[in-house]
Amino acid sequence: MKKIITAGLLLTSLFLVGCSITTNNGDTDPVTAGEKCNKAEGFTYSTEIKACVKEFNLNANQTKAATMAVETYGTEDGLTITEVKTVRCPSCFDVTLQNEDGDSSVVKIDEWAVSEIIKDAETEVIEIETEIVEEEPSS
């Protein structure tokens, strides 16, 4: 009888551990992630977006764009949405994300599809010097 009870407890324990592992789905723990949000600047962790954000600044479309950006970029502890800018059309956005190390990336969304991810490390600013030459009027 003791063997049956022990086996039953073991199976129940394995089942419960398995359930807790599979229900997480790799998502960031909101408590841990929320601790890394810069609350002094008004950022809180959004379970919908899965990043730190100033939710009160976002309308429904911007929230949708931010969620798409995070899903594409990937969730990580300390990820912050610093700006969601509407560009060119009502369904076109530039979403700026900043990771825990302070590196920024921009996820470009055009017509509700991610079109490009620009990471700071991959972006170079090229300065072009131009020379203005004034032509003398011809006689």
- What's 60-116 look like in SS3? HHHHHHHHHHHHHHCCCCCCEEEEEEECCCCCCEEEEEECCCCCEEEEEEECCEEEE
Q: Per residue in 112-139, pLDDT tens?
A: 999 999 987 454 443 434 455 455 655 5
Q: How far apart are CA 86 and CA 103, in angstroms?
A: 22
Domain membership flag for residue 132: no
**Residue 53, SS3?**
strand
Domain membership flag for residue 32: yes
State pTM to two decimals: 0.63
Q: Per residue in 63-117, pLDDT tens?
A: 999 999 999 988 777 799 999 999 989 999 999 999 888 899 999 999 999 999 9
Domain count, the chain: 1
Contact (CB, 8 A) for 51 and 97: yes
Q: How far apart are CA 59 and CA 47, in angstroms?
A: 16
Q: Given the structure tokens 């700006």, which residue do they identify?
A: 83
Domain that holds residue 62: 28-122
Q: What is the pLDDT, as a whole number, of residue 105?
A: 93
Domain membership flag for residue 56: yes
Domain membership flag for residue 130: no
Q: Per residue in 10-35, pLDDT tens?
A: 444 444 434 333 333 444 454 555 57
Domain membership flag for residue 4: no
Domain membership flag for residue 18: no
Domain membership flag for residue 118: yes
Domain membership flag for residue 133: no
